Amino acid sequence: MGAHEGIYEDAYTSTRRPVKLVYAENFDLVVDAIAAERRIKGWSRAKKEALMAGDWKKLMELSKRRGGQS
């Protein structure tokens, strides 16, 4: 069975195929991976797109605090 046929019919991604991995990172500890996932989930769409594109300059710009604070 290929990666896009799916194993579980009731899975979230079963109706959202094909699934494409756009970013991956390795962690030594599961808790670190979970923390990173939660942090990224809270980001804006623009910031996530910069991460997926590997545009580190834009990601840094979008990461700067707003309102005159740094």
pLDDT digit string, tens, across residues 9-55: 888 878 888 878 889 999 999 999 999 999 999 999 999 999 999 99
Give the pLDDT of residue 70. 47
User: What is the DSSP-derived secondary structure letter of residue 13?
Assistant: G
pLDDT band at 5 (very low <50, low <70, confident <90, very high): low
Question: CA nearest 14: which of 3, 22, 28, 29?
Answer: 3
Query: In the chain, where are the structural domains located?
Result: 22-63
Q: Helices marked H in the chain — which ranges?
A: 30-41, 45-53, 56-63
Buried/exposed code over 21-45 (b: 16+ C-beta within 10 A; e: otherwise): eeeeeeeeeeeeeeeeeeeeeeeee
Give the pLDDT of residue 16. 81
